[in-house]
Amino acid sequence: MKALVVDDSRVMRRILKGILQPLGFEVEEADDGEKALETIRSGGGVDVVLADWNMPVMSGLELVHALKSDPIHSNVPILMVTSESSLDQIDEAFCAGINEYIMKPFDAEAIKTKLQMIGVLA
């Protein structure tokens, strides 16, 4: 399985990679939504995207809109991993098409549970 971790923080990408690899994921990284789209569209299909909300160039929410409007990639599961905690933002993310939402800080078990909830892990 392949996961794409999208976050402008190198530390956060490293933390998520450290959680995902022991779960059996090959992990690709991007530091903004635009690079994530390039990775996905270049034929490097992914099984799940874990995206931060606040990033330069293209935000996580803009990435969600771009993926969900693309017929080829609209079914890719998306887990929003962010510090945004307002109910309005959570609602906006779900309306845009994410599959699950987790707020920072989190632990490995919480990520695993969310991936199970969206059907990416057994």
Residue pair 37/66 in contact (Cβ under 8 Å)? The answer is yes
Q: What is the mean pLDDT of residues 77-96?
A: 95
pLDDT digits (tens, 9 = 90+) for 23-76: 999 999 999 999 999 999 887 689 999 999 999 999 999 999 999 999 999 999
Residue pair 59/86 in contact (Cβ under 8 Å)? The answer is no
CA distance 93 to 88: 9
Q: If you classify domain 2-116 with CATH, what class do you get? A: alpha beta
Structural domain boundaries in the chain: 2-116
Cis ω for the linkage preceding 105 (within 30 of 0): yes
